[in-house]
Chain A
Amino acid sequence: MTKATNLPPIAPIDAVSARMAHSADHLRLVASGAWTLAQIHQIEAALAVGHPPDIRQLRVDLSAVTALDTAGAYVLSRWIRRITHEGAELELHVANEAQKALLHRVEVVERRPLARQRSSAFVLMLDRIGRATIEFRHAAHDLLGFFGIVVITMFRVLAQPRRLRFISLVAHIERIGLHALPILGLLSFLIGVVLAYQGADQLRAYGAEIFTVNLLGISILRELGVLLTAIMVAGRSGSAFAAEIGTMKVNEEVDAMTTLGLDPIEVLVLPRILAMLIALPLLTLYASLMALGGGAVMAMTALDIGFAQFLNQLSGAIVASTFWTGMIKAPVFAFAIALVGCYEGLQVTGSAESVGHHTTRSVVESIFLVIIADAAFSILFSIMGV
């Protein structure tokens, strides 16, 4: 074999040479050395030497070539083709049949583009918008259908509480709720601190620093506590739902479940949604308290508002409805996050990339839905005058 002599690694490789001689309309190329990828620059340089026009007879002698690979063969055959194309006749002398076969093999004449034909940027953009719109419509339609199935299953299970996967439910509550406490607590506390600081800075101009407490109480209890918790949980647990169910989908576990007579909605989706419905309101309460705590600490240290004064001002600023308008959103957000997470998980098909894709989508969609729902609540509350 041609390669056998080229075995020693990083060893002196036989120098390439291409001696050209011509007489009248005869051109003769005597090649020697290793015609391989490593030597490709020398090979190209050696063949770049010009030759007289109107060659009728081309004689290529490869018997002294010690190694020939596809790169060397390709460059040589391209050179040969260029001359024979002008009407020359080829006479080929090879060291072995393998060289000849290889030279023949690399003769790819078709020069098809390696990339796809590109349309103009404007057309591409229109195309993308169109696709996204149609996809959005389908996704909304499917999600609504999934919502229906989940609700029906939920009522069926509630009618027969024995069918509820209790252990799974508790495990999910632990993972969504308990395990989120440290990070959510820290985050809320810091938001409380930042809010108190920024609020006090603005209100000081009017000598109304004490109203920082009102600002904190209303904004945290009505909006920020629940929104912060929902976004945090969407990123932490909604994505986990999509990834877990998606991985099971890839492993065909969901299919196996169905063939064994288990309903994936009942086994996988329902415990997660119920766990989220229980955990998210509790987390919201916890996050609101932590944020108020952060605000109180800030008020004490930077504004000289004592803790008793803080509580006093707070109880004057908020009424029961302030608290409940915030809390009532929690189960709705919980349902949206869990529904989207499970839905995207079940949309996974085939490959591992699909899991990543749908996990990302679950986070984006659930946060989107949470904010849409929050806006809807704001409109509703303003109509109701709460």
Chain B
Amino acid sequence: MTPDQPVIRVRGLVTRFGTHTIHDGLDLDVRPGEVIGVVGGSGSGKSVLLRTIIGLKRPEGGSIDVLGRSTAKLDTAGWKALQSRWGVLFQNGALFSALTVAQNVRVPFLEHTDLAAKLVGDLIRVKIDMVGLPAEAGAKYPSELSGGMRKRAALARALALDPEILFLDEPTAGLDPISAAAFDQLIRDLQRALGLTVVIVTHDLDTLVTITDRIAVLVDTRIIVGTLNELLDNPHPWIREYFHGPRGRAARHES
């Protein structure tokens, strides 16, 4: 296996809800160490793609290889091993509401490692600090945190086991522009420091412009991948509308 081999390779993916086809023959490569943004109109299946890759939804056809492993062929132990090598940040954080932030970050350690409690406590402190939360946030419950802090806490949980891949579902949705920009920067910093491969599902054009290396656009049940500049010249009407519309222009202008 060479370092250039894709971290995630999706080939001919087909997903359906009943008779409604979401993806039909979708191909996607995610390269190691890149930040890739997934965009598309409402209902184009961005979140479905993410959920399919991480195994929450079974695809109707096609293959998905993550870190060189075909996810369809994995047994329970294989899944567990793979799950410890990616972190997922759900749209609203999905922190366990009955647990404090520190306990939330501890969950992956309890499930996947057998480290001494003291070391786990120290690592939890490191993660909480890394995502830019104050040390006292560890003892708080999710309901006591603001939206931005909750996302950071969820990111700390996603990063607990030092995963190689980080999946983010709408990381900046519901945040004010200042918190959103700070969160973008945080993701970029952590990605550089930890050498993460990051897959971001987002609507936020600012996020796309500032932190992604490549962008995957879901249109017509397929996907078109390219850098921002390549996509700007793409003739597809939805892509033109997306990047050349007023919001797209504004986002590009700022950066």
**Could you tell me if A36 and B126 are in contact, using CB atoms closer than 8 angstroms?**
no
Contact of A1 among B82, B119, B135, B195 (CB under 8 A): B195
**Could you tell me if A78 and B122 are in contact, using CB atoms closer than 8 angstroms?**
yes
Contact of B33 among A3, A36, A111, A113 (CB under 8 A): A3
**Could you tell me if A7 and B193 are in contact, using CB atoms closer than 8 angstroms?**
no
Contact of B81 among A2, A6, A9, A69 (CB under 8 A): A9
**Could you tell me if A116 and B194 are in contact, using CB atoms closer than 8 angstroms?**
no
Is A20 interfacial (CB 8 A cutoff)? no
Size of A's binding interface in residues, CB under 8 A:
36
**Could you tell me if A110 and B32 are in contact, using CB atoms closer than 8 angstroms?**
no
Segment among B136-144, B174-182, B205-213, B227-235 that sits at the interface with chain A: B136-144
**Could you tell me if A7 and B7 are in contact, using CB atoms closer than 8 angstroms?**
yes
Is A115 interfacial (CB 8 A cutoff)? yes
Is B127 interfacial (CB 8 A cutoff)? yes
**Could you tell me if B68 and A7 are in contact, using CB atoms closer than 8 angstroms?**
yes
Residues of A close to B113: CB separation below 8 A: 37, 40
**Could you tell me if B1 and A112 are in contact, using CB atoms closer than 8 angstroms?**
no
**Could you tell me if A116 and B123 are in contact, using CB atoms closer than 8 angstroms?**
no
Q: Which of A95-154 contact B (CB under 8 A)?
A: 98, 101-102, 105-106, 108, 110-116
Task: Report the separation of the CA atoms of residues A74 and B124 in the bound assembly, to the nearest whole angstrom.
Answer: 11
Contact of A4 among B33, B123, B139, B162 (CB under 8 A): B33
Residues of A close to B123: CB separation below 8 A: 70-71, 74
Residues of A close to B5: CB separation below 8 A: 7
Q: Which of B1-41 contact A (CB under 8 A)?
A: 1, 3, 5, 7, 32-33
Residues of B close to A70: CB separation below 8 A: 123, 126-127, 130, 159, 162, 194
Size of B's binding interface in residues, CB under 8 A:
43
Known: A105-B193, A106-B126. A4 touches B3 (CB 8 A): yes
Residues of B close to A283: CB separation below 8 A: none
Is B196 interfacial (CB 8 A cutoff)? yes
**Could you tell me if A7 and B67 are in contact, using CB atoms closer than 8 angstroms?**
yes
- B196 to A, closest residue via Cβ: A3
Task: Report the separation of the CA atoms of residues A332 and B136 in the bound assembly, to the nearest whole angstrom.
Answer: 51
**Could you tell me if A115 and B139 are in contact, using CB atoms closer than 8 angstroms?**
yes
Task: Report the separation of the CA atoms of residues A8 and B85 in the bound assembly, to the nearest whole angstrom.
Answer: 11
Task: Report the separation of the CA atoms of residues A348 and B87 in the bound assembly, to the nearest whole angstrom.
Answer: 33
Is B69 interfacial (CB 8 A cutoff)? yes
Task: Report the separation of the CA atoms of residues A112 and B130 in the bound assembly, to the nearest whole angstrom.
Answer: 15
Task: Report the separation of the CA atoms of residues A21 and B27 in the bound assembly, to the nearest whole angstrom.
Answer: 52
Task: Report the separation of the CA atoms of residues A132 and B113 in the bound assembly, to the nearest whole angstrom.
Answer: 41
**Could you tell me if A4 and B32 are in contact, using CB atoms closer than 8 angstroms?**
yes
Is B97 interfacial (CB 8 A cutoff)? yes
**Could you tell me if B193 and A111 are in contact, using CB atoms closer than 8 angstroms?**
no
Please encode chain A, from 5 to 42, with 1 for each CB lying within 8 Å of some chain B CB and 0 for all others: 11111110000000000000000000000001100100
Residues of A close to B188: CB separation below 8 A: none
Is B164 interfacial (CB 8 A cutoff)? yes
**Could you tell me if A36 and B162 are in contact, using CB atoms closer than 8 angstroms?**
yes
**Could you tell me if A9 and B124 are in contact, using CB atoms closer than 8 angstroms?**
no
Is B102 interfacial (CB 8 A cutoff)? yes
Contact of B195 among A2, A74, A113 (CB under 8 A): A2
Task: Report the separation of the CA atoms of residues A40 and B7 in the bound assembly, to the nearest whole angstrom.
Answer: 24
Task: Report the separation of the CA atoms of residues A237 and B123 in the bound assembly, to the nearest whole angstrom.
Answer: 48
**Could you tell me if B68 and A8 are in contact, using CB atoms closer than 8 angstroms?**
yes
Residues of A close to B32: CB separation below 8 A: 1, 3-4, 7
Number of A-B contacts (CB under 8 A): 101
Is A75 interfacial (CB 8 A cutoff)? yes
Is B161 interfacial (CB 8 A cutoff)? yes
**Could you tell me if A6 and B164 are in contact, using CB atoms closer than 8 angstroms?**
yes
Is B115 interfacial (CB 8 A cutoff)? yes
Task: Report the separation of the CA atoms of residues A249 and B102 in the bound assembly, to the nearest whole angstrom.
Answer: 31
Is A353 interfacial (CB 8 A cutoff)? yes
Task: Report the separation of the CA atoms of residues A10 and B79 in the bound assembly, to the nearest whole angstrom.
Answer: 11
**Could you tell me if B162 and A111 are in contact, using CB atoms closer than 8 angstroms?**
no
Is A351 interfacial (CB 8 A cutoff)? yes
Query: Nearest Cβ distance between residue B104 and chain A, in whole angstroms?
Result: 11
Is B247 interfacial (CB 8 A cutoff)? no
Residues of A close to B97: CB separation below 8 A: 351, 353
Known: A3-B33, A37-B161. A9 touches B121 (CB 8 A): no
Contact of A5 among B3, B67, B125, B192 (CB under 8 A): B3
Is B202 interfacial (CB 8 A cutoff)? no
Residues of A close to B196: CB separation below 8 A: 3
Is B100 interfacial (CB 8 A cutoff)? yes
Residues of A close to B127: CB separation below 8 A: 70
Please encode chain A, from 47 to 80, with 1 for each CB lying within 8 Å of some chain B CB and 0 for all others: 0000000000000000000000111001100100
Residues of B close to A3: CB separation below 8 A: 32-33, 164, 194-197
Contact of A108 among B1, B125, B161, B193 (CB under 8 A): B125
Residue ranges of A at the interface with B (Cβ–Cβ < 8 Å): 1-11, 36-37, 40, 44, 69-71, 74-75, 78, 98, 101-102, 105-106, 108, 110-116, 351, 353
Give 7 nearest A-B pairs by CB, closest first. A1-B195, A69-B162, A3-B195, A114-B102, A9-B67, A112-B135, A4-B3
Q: Can you name 26 A-B residue pairings with CB atoms under 8 Å? A: A3-B32, A3-B164, A3-B194, A7-B5, A7-B7, A7-B32, A8-B67, A8-B68, A10-B78, A11-B1, A37-B161, A69-B162, A70-B123, A70-B126, A70-B127, A74-B126, A98-B192, A98-B193, A106-B130, A108-B135, A110-B135, A112-B136, A115-B100, A115-B139, A116-B139, A351-B143
Residue ranges of B at the interface with A (Cβ–Cβ < 8 Å): 1, 3, 5, 7, 32-33, 67-69, 78, 81-82, 85, 97, 100, 102, 113, 115, 119, 121-127, 129-130, 135-136, 138-139, 143, 159, 161-162, 164, 192-197
